Structures are given as structure tokens and as C-alpha cells.
Structure 1
Amino acid sequence: MTEIKGIDVSHYQNDRGPIDFAKVKDSGNKFVIVKATEGNEAGSRYLDPYFAQNVTAANASGLTTHAYHFFRGVSESDARAEAQWFLKNLQGVAVKGYLFVDVEYAKLTSDKGKLTSYVNKFLDELAKNGYTKHGIYSGKSFFENRLNEQDLRPGILKWIARYNDVLGRNADIWQHTSSAQVPGISGNVDVNIAYTDAILSTDDTSKNESKPAAAKPEPSKKSKPKSSESVLKKGDKGLAVLSMQKNLASVFFYPDKKASNHGCDSVYGPKTEDAVRRFQLTHGLTADGIFGPKTATALEKAIADLKKNPVVKKKASHPIHVVEKGDTLWDIAQHNHTTVQQLMNMNHLHNDTIYPGQKLKLK
């Protein structure tokens, strides 16, 4: 049986340092599945801030790229809305292979028929928009007990997680650990074995046959604002804005410190304008709230200076998860990119029994 090695990544890996996908490939991996989104645009939307960057870099290294969406759907219409949010953020990003729906959230409906229907509606929406290479990700227990496997859309790849010596069932891809060490990546990462050559197929998945794909951005111009780039101002949106926001946040000028990702959302709104203005005031520039060449140059210098003289921060307290009804240690470990054993060790648990209201350290 063919066995093809690959990894999957999200911002958790990027947060620990840059990913060197060339080293990932040189270590024997052939593919990477990259987190793109979760939720829907009108509600629980989330775009992984490193999605486009990871896909671009992985493509450049010769890895076959795939993308996944973390599913939170509560109805058929919500499932279609989640698919539209996923599709929106695929535009302009050259994903070469399959699109996966990640179905593992503990709070999804416990009605197997309904959840299966929601997942199919999500995949149908992708197909309606010209994307026909699909897959589903889940843990072995969740997949077998919360979904009707026989009723899922035919022809999809099954990507199953089980951290054991054997998977114990048929699957196209087996995620066999979340705590591997892979050259080119700092810290732990999920690793997978694919049993089908389809995972290396690159024929037109990144193209939407129903409408033209958006123009591909030049990675060198999107990864970091340069003084030669065009001016950014209130009302602008996109990867250039997101990169600028993240760079501002890296030197402690947050668009919105209390918000998710400190307000780095790719939208140049009033709070981002305020962050730019505060930065300009601090660095002796005209405080007009417009991110032009002089501000970009000053920001590059501020980042370089901080790297030379880093700020020493106090050790942060452990992030906490409050257990809710329906949670399992496996679900919590999956969503926080750790393992059941690590959670047990950290929280001094003698078994995997948990109860609502219990507080668990995550790191």
C-alpha cells in the first residue's frame, strides 16, 4: 500500500516561529493541509491570518497544498453560509489540491442524521461553485459515532485522526499524532500518512469553474509592507492591510488589543486608523492615520529595533478551558493542538473523566 507523508498546519505553528517549508519537504513530506477558516461570515467567522502565506510558501517549496475549514454549522443554511465564507477566502490563494471540512466540534448537534445533512450541504455548496475535490476530517470516535458515514457525499477523501499504533479502520489519510517534531517547524505539529495518490493531484482544484478566480497576489509584496508599496488608508481591505496590522501589533500598537487576534482582521477600520495615528505620533510623523511610505519605513525600523532589543515579558498564566456539557478531553486536545496525555499530566488527572464547570489548564 502506498504511504505518503504529510503535515497539517495552522497559526499555532506560525505563532512559534516562521515555517521553513523547504525543510519540511526535504524531510520526506509530500503534502500540507493548511487551515483557512472557521464559522461563517455573519457570525463566528475566523480567517487564519497565515493561511495565504502558508499556501504560497508551501507551493514554492514543491509541496502539494490543500485547505481545511473548521465546521460549526447548526443548520443547513448555516452550513451553506460557512461554505461561502470558506470560498470567499480561497479566492486569490493557489490551493492546489483538496478542500476539507473539519468536523470535530463537541457542540455540534448530536443528531447524526442532521449533522450528516449539514456536512453534505457544506460540500454541495463547494461543488455548486466549481470546487469538486472534497474531503472530511474527524477523530475516529467522532466520525463513527456522530455521523452517518454511508450517507456522506460520495467520492470524498476521509481524513481520520487517531493517536495510536493502528488506525483500526479504513481511511484515505491517517493523522496519527499531534506531537511530532518536523524539521522547519518550531514545536509540535500534526503528521499524517495518506494511502492514496489523489493527495498529490494538483489538477484545477484552486480554480472556481463557475467564475474566474481572483488574480494571484505576489507573495513578496503581501508578506511585509515596503516603503515602495501603495498607500493604505481607512476603508481598504485585504492581505496588505492584515500584514500591516500584524506588524503594528508586533511593536505593541494594537488595532484592538481586547479583540480576537488583537483586531488584526484585514479591514482598515477606525481602530486600525487610530493605531496608525498613535504609531505616527510616537515616531515623529504626521499623524494623519494613513499608512504611507514614511510610516511603512518607520514601522520596519521599529520592528528591527525590537528584534535587537526585545522586551522581556513576565511569564503569562496558563490559558484555561472551562468544561461544558458534551466536552471530552480528546475534543479539547484537538481544538488546542495538544494531546490527551499532556492535558492529563498538566491537570494531574488520573483518568480521562471530566465534568461541566471543571477548569483545565491548556499550556
Structure 2
Amino acid sequence: MTLKISKQLAPVKPVVNCFGYGNKADSVTIHQTGNTNKGANAKMHAKLQSRVYGASWHWQVDDVEAIQSFEHKVSCYHASDGRGPGNLNSIAIEGCINVDGDYVKTVHNMAELAAKVLKEIGKDTNRLFQHNDFDTKYHKNCPAQIRAGKDGIGWALFVQMVKDNMKGSVVAESAKPPIAKTIDQLANEVIAGKHGSGDVRKKALGSQFVAVQARVNQLIGAKPVNKPLAPAPVKKKYSLPNGVYRVSNPMRHGNDVLQIQLALSSIYFYPNKGAKNNGCDSWYGFDTANAVKRFQLMYGLVADGVYGPATAKKLDSIVNK
């Protein structure tokens, strides 16, 4: 394995950030964070979970490393299926999509980690799922970039990358000759006409074919070659209000507040998870302010619990796109 792996375990707080222990670990679920901000890498997301976040996942991966936040025996809040098989029995891997990272490298690291975990739990890629597979209520478009075939890597190709890693067809770092060519070097050679095409190229590049072809697609801006997935259902739109909302006396109340609460809940920032309607009660109280603050913290905004223009703009760009 060439991927740098470390642990930064977050507190296990049942009801607050997870279901507790008892995960059967019979599958792996792939996510992508949705956070393109600079610095939104694996370290940032690991720190977020260490502070006890309202959602949870076992691993976060970027172009440099993979950091584990929860042992696999913990059932995390990640699959949007309540006490279903995703949350209770699957291991979650979140891939970072920060703009200052190498997206293709991150996806390759995700595939390497997924292969490692599947081998550890004794499963094959038939137990490799997308977040979308479990979210039968909202049909969340996740992992969004892979589902869209960004940089030529769609779901079918990603699964093949995992299979290649599981078969050991990706050469281990210790086994590589010291003068082995990099993926970028081989990709540039392909673009220059070397290594042929089709089966000839596959034979010439061997175990590195998938990685090199994905890099070629990225460099030349090729569209994904795998069959595109059906478009996700149109997301529910939220009429987010303008103005500034904060905890006040008397508290603000009305449909405008409800729209804020529903929009936040649609991306798992619940005012009061587990309460009636998960705390969506049309009142801008401390629970709603806390949900706003968690959202702001996740997306690099001033985390003060006050819903204002910057928060409204960011929230709208996520839930109403």
C-alpha cells in the first residue's frame, strides 16, 4: 500500500454523533464531502469530527492521506437511512474535493483505501456501495463527482480501480523499481502517441492502465467513457429568506424560519435530531442557532449561529442547485 494512513479517533457519543458500537461491518459506502473550500482536506474533516460533529463517518481521504476517525465497530451517522443497513452495518469513506487538492489522486486513494477495508472485512466489490444506494428518501446525489464522471472517473471505473487494488495488480511501493515512471509521465507519453490504443495500450501499461487512462482523461478534458448514470431526481427547493436571523426575545417564528430549518435538515444539520420533525418547529431558538453554527463551521463561514446573507448564499447554493 502506498497510501499514508493514520488514526485520529473522535469521541463515540451515541445519539449525539453515532449509534454507538455494534457495526457488523459487512460493506463499504463511498461518499464525497461536497466541500470544495480550500483547506477542506482530510485533516480538516478529521478535526471536525474530533470536536463531536452531528454527522459521522469512519474515514476521510484526500490526495495525501487517509485518516480514520471511528473504529469499524462503530455505527456512524452517514448513510441517510436511519437504523438501516447503511448506518448500522457499513463502513463510510469520505473523499475530499477541496479545490486546492489533486482530485484524481484523491479518487485513487479512495479506491486504494476501499480495497484495503474490503479485504480486511472479507468482502468483494459486490459489497461496495454509494451513499445514494441507501438514501431512499432524498436520493442524495453522493458521491456526486464520481457519479457525474468527473475527470473521466465514473462509478464503473472506480469499482474497477478498487478491484485492481484488491487483486494486488496495483504495484506496492516497496516492489516498484527505483526508476519507475510516474502516472503523469506515462499519461504524457500516451498523449504523445506512445503505448498505442485499446487492448495494445492495456497490455503495454499493465496494472497501471486504469490510473494512467484516468490521468489522460483529466489532462485532455475527455468525457467519461463509462455509461452515464440516470440523473438524480430533482431536489426539493427551499424558499430561503433574506435578512438576519438570530436567537431573540421574543423568538422569531414563522414559515421563513421553517424553510431555514428544513433546508439545513435536508443536508443533515438537524436542529434537534430525534425530536419531532427533527426539531423543525418554525421557531428560531438555540437548537436552530446551533444547527446554523454547525453548518457555518463545516463550510468555512463565521460560526456564530446567526443566519445572515453569507450563510443564506452558501446554503442556497447547496440545497437549491
TM-score range for the pair, normalised by the shorter chain length: 0.3 to 0.5
Q: Structure 1 length as normaliser, TM-score?
A: 0.30
Q: Which structure's residues are more often strand, by fraction?
A: 1
